[in-house]
Chain A
């Protein structure tokens, strides 16, 4: 009798987990309920949100089972009159097989599915369109602001030398707190536009961002793109994304960088197209 009950319970669990797995496989960006996440603006963000939503449902479901089992056991098995419980060590092959099977079902249904959905999102990044003609921006993080550099007319960046920029003697000589180690006689520098606090990008075009740091580790965090990448001194890291919607969005620093870490925000402006961006940036061009 007990074995039949146990088998039925396992079967029910199996069906539910199976149902969840199937539902998760069918989850797509239209499954709504991104719960607590801010609206995403890229196709990549949709994939991340799908994973988040799936895990939310899964967590609530599994925790619900654990909680109800626990409460049920507390009520059903509270101290019996005789005081004795059902004596078993649960060391039999059958018991081990049952727990092992349930553990594998959790692993396949939840963990492997999670890996699958995460890789689907990664694939979105890896299947990047030809980035040769992408819109490029350089970001240099410093305590406590974000410096954005645009190529400007001619489309070429001056060479940055962060080692020079971080040298206290050279930095003092140069005098500009936002100096990124650019040579004074670099021909491309006169066209480059350097702005503090404004990331200006076009909609519907891939944007490639190179990230560097002038002092400590910072992290470029753009919530609506679901992207975050550390700015590590001595390294150049890169990200790319394609915003699908115009608007004004916030950027925050996301790696403890000192006293004003929480004040190191910036704004991302997604404008209609590259021409609009160039028009906007003209006000910051060197005279």
Chain B
């Protein structure tokens, strides 16, 4: 209930219990790590475009010696890039920031079910992030066994430095944070919806966040177990993943990927929900096939738990087992096609408004379709044996996951910024940013897949030793230029974001004419969200373009 206590700066901004403030904390943390991980990409791409050449001006500062990237440093760069992007950038931005900010607002609650747990989960993420950053300067060198961290390479004999140990600790704290968040989200969504807000009247954003939280809840404990077993092998002399004596390194791979595959769905489900809502709002049309979309997302959530072996076709599993995983993997195409077609059908016969969130959502439609199609190449067991560990896979997962999440995340920020900060962002600048980012994303990751088809392996500090790759080194140069351009374009976003927080024009209550509950409260919403009385919901979240209504659309809550 609304508390009229006076809050100190510390209890309002550092250790807040208000879900909106926590959400914004997550957003800032996520953006910080997004730029950190993105910066690492520039260093990686420098090495690939100009192998063993010293980086001008700052090379000696970053790499020591003559200023070029050393192979072990290169391995650490892509290790930390992957880890930071997946766990410290995307997870906090999409799940932490938008989950926290939107769930109570969109379901008509005053806050999360457990505000203290919420606050703790954020600071646990920060603790994990600090340890992860510290791992970069740990004695013995940072982790360098890939974000997948397979033993024995990540084990005590082969990764002797403390960096790998810190990496495990940082990630375990991050996982704990996500687990706390998942519990909170599920409890809030299932028990704190306001009167009239049935499950099938929730915005699809909430459905995406709900399924994502369910996957988090089920699968993070598995990777936590794997990580703790690896930690024990490293520091306590155990032999969980030893090659002999009844154990096997393959066990780690099974445990890791058992979580690792649902993890990619954890990251993308919120985006699917957000894009479904954005397409509806800016086509002024109900989301086509709302129920079918929900059931499809549910089916994908379930299927995601039984396909992990498709990351291990070359690992030494029986080919019979590989074929079972192949068959299960391709079944995900059915629900995916259904909700994807529903996206297109939402646009069909709509009245489309080309705002920056809409452009971003349409960008997601395109990159996800392409990324999803290239997934079929990797699902096929025999073809994947050729493509595994090449740049085809790198291009595939960046197109499917990173591109969708990036474009969708930017769309979400552009969309909810007015509500979060009470100010408007610069719309023309936002549109330019989205369009340029989309074009560069298409260039960079399609070229990567092309390069991978030629056979270039991933995680290679220097591919120029091989005759079969020499003719294609120019592609590495081209990709690096594309990535540099993509990074520079993000300056448009960074400038827009920071400038608008301080100097943006004041935002109205509902600048986008959207029907969900968060657009009925002031921008930014006050503590307690809804004033004296909670809203009562009378209809679904997408009642746009009603034929008989002069106003054209009706908000969810009874007006």
* CB < 8 Å A-B pair total: 294
Q: Is B326 an interface residue (CB 8 A)?
A: yes
CA distance A230 to B248 in the complex (A): 14
B interface size (C-beta, 8 A)? 95
Q: Is A204 an interface residue (CB 8 A)?
A: no
A59-B373, A84-B547, A221-B457 known; A111+B330 contact, CB < 8 A:
yes
The contact of A99 among B289, B463, B542, by CB within 8 Å, is: B289
Contacts of B426 in A (CB 8 A): none
Asked if A48 and B386 sit within 8 Å, CB to CB, the answer is yes
Q: Is A281 an interface residue (CB 8 A)?
A: no
Asked if A84 and B341 sit within 8 Å, CB to CB, the answer is no
Determine how close the nearest CB of chain B comes to the CB of A39; give it in whole angstroms: 10
A114-B379, A217-B152 known; A232+B342 contact, CB < 8 A:
no
Asked if B327 and A115 sit within 8 Å, CB to CB, the answer is yes
Asked if A118 and B382 sit within 8 Å, CB to CB, the answer is yes
CA distance A135 to B185 in the complex (A): 60
The contact of A90 among B335, B342, B377, B455, by CB within 8 Å, is: B342
CA distance A117 to B335 in the complex (A): 23
Contacts of A237 in B (CB 8 A): 316
A48-B382, A85-B284, A163-B244 known; A73+B350 contact, CB < 8 A:
yes
Q: Is B389 an interface residue (CB 8 A)?
A: yes
Beta-carbon contacts under 8 Å, A207-251 to B: 215-217, 219, 221, 223, 226-230, 232-235, 237, 249-250
Asked if B284 and A83 sit within 8 Å, CB to CB, the answer is yes
Asked if A99 and B158 sit within 8 Å, CB to CB, the answer is no
Q: Is B545 an interface residue (CB 8 A)?
A: yes
Determine how close the nearest CB of chain A comes to the CB of B552; give it in whole angstroms: 6
Q: Is A252 an interface residue (CB 8 A)?
A: yes
Asked if B153 and A89 sit within 8 Å, CB to CB, the answer is no
Asked if B552 and A96 sit within 8 Å, CB to CB, the answer is no
Contacts of B150 in A (CB 8 A): 216-217, 255-256
Contacts of A84 in B (CB 8 A): 284, 351, 545, 547, 552
> Which one, B13-21, B22-30, B205-213, B363-371, is touching chain A?
B363-371
Asked if B353 and A38 sit within 8 Å, CB to CB, the answer is no
Asked if B316 and A78 sit within 8 Å, CB to CB, the answer is no
Q: Is A32 an interface residue (CB 8 A)?
A: no
Q: Is B104 an interface residue (CB 8 A)?
A: no
Determine how close the nearest CB of chain A comes to the CB of B60; give it in whole angstroms: 20
Q: Is B168 an interface residue (CB 8 A)?
A: no
CA distance A255 to B323 in the complex (A): 22
Asked if A256 and B146 sit within 8 Å, CB to CB, the answer is yes
**7 A–B contact pairs at CB < 8 A?**
A48-B382, A59-B374, A63-B370, A77-B351, A114-B330, A235-B316, A254-B388
In the A-B complex, the 8 residue pairs with the closest CB atoms: A234-B243, A36-B453, A90-B288, A103-B337, A262-B460, A86-B349, A233-B243, A111-B330
Interface residue ranges, B against A (CB under 8 Å): 70-72, 75, 144-146, 150, 152-153, 157-158, 242-244, 248-250, 283-292, 314-316, 319, 323, 326-327, 330-331, 333-335, 337-338, 341-342, 344-354, 362, 365-366, 369-370, 373-374, 376-377, 379-383, 385-386, 388-390, 450, 453-455, 457, 459-463, 465-468, 540, 542, 544-547, 552
Taking A85-B351, A115-B326, A115-B327 as given, write out 14 further A-B residue pairs in contact, using a Cβ cutoff of 8 Å, ordered by the A residue number: A52-B377, A63-B369, A67-B366, A77-B347, A79-B353, A84-B284, A88-B349, A99-B337, A122-B381, A229-B314, A230-B316, A232-B250, A250-B466, A254-B389
